[in-house]
Amino acid sequence: MTDTFDFIEMKIPAKAEYVGVIRLSLSGIANRMGFNYEDIEDLKVAVSEAITNAVTHAYDDHKEGEVTIGFGVYADRIEVMVADHGGSFNLEDIKGKIGPYEHVETVESLREGGFGLFIIDALVDKVEINNEYGVIVLMTKYLQETGVEVDANQLSTR
């Protein structure tokens, strides 16, 4: 069987106010595909993190760029691509700065940023990053009925 898919592409100015617009579209697409509420929330956060990174870098570089978002709609999964054709970042550098708080530390030593990639990784099934030309983040999340991946993160009921 060939792996056919529908592809939806959107382009937004690299500005903070448009991130929410993509969340609304994503929510509609994922809902149509049959994702449950919790998975849609996870997707919204993961995709927003990627777009936020792109928007923030454009802002830091004083560039008026665009961010391209592509949605690959498959029978068993969604693939979301976020492309920022602004500057590249050093992946190894960034990986070294991310992660959860293990044994904190004092309040003063808390990081205020650097969670983005870590959170994306926690919320989707697969993340791929290509930074040869700009930065492209590709996130994949499977529909749960397929049983491909079961989320091990139990929701805290506190």
Partner 1 sequence: MDLSIDVVNERDKLIAVLVGEVDVYTAPKLKESLLFLVKKEQTMLEVDMTGVSYMDSTGLGVIISVLKAAKEHESQLRLSNLQDSVMRLFHITGLDKVIDISVSIREGR
Residues that bind partner 1 (CB under 8 A): 16-17, 19-21, 23-24, 38, 41, 44-45, 48-49, 52, 55-56, 100-102, 104, 107-108, 110-113, 115-116, 118-119, 122-123, 153, 155-158
Closest CB 14 distance from partner 1, rounded Å? 11
> For residues 138 and 127, is the Cβ–Cβ distance under 8 A?
yes
Place of tokens 């792996």: 3
Q: In the complex with partner 1, which residue's Cβ is closer, 3 or 93?
A: 93
For the bound state, the minimum distance from the C-beta of residue 123 to partner 1, rounded and expressed in Å, comes to 8
Q: How far is the CB of 85 from partner 1 (least distance, A)?
A: 18
Q: Which is nearer to partner 1, 3 or 112 (CB)?
A: 112
Q: What is the C-alpha separation between 39 and 121, in angstroms, rounded?
A: 14
Query: With respect to partner 1, which residue has the nearer C-beta, 41 or 149?
Result: 41
Residue 13, H or E segment: strand 6-13
- In the bound state with partner 1, the residue whose beta carbon lies nearer, of 59 and 74, is 59
Q: How far is the CB of 3 from partner 1 (least distance, A)?
A: 30
**What gap in Å lies between CA 46 and CA 71, rounded to an integer?**
13
Pairing of strands 126-130, 135-142: antiparallel
Q: Are strands 77-84 and 66-73 parallel, antiparallel or unpaired?
A: antiparallel
Q: CA 51 to CA 85: how far, in whole Å?
A: 12
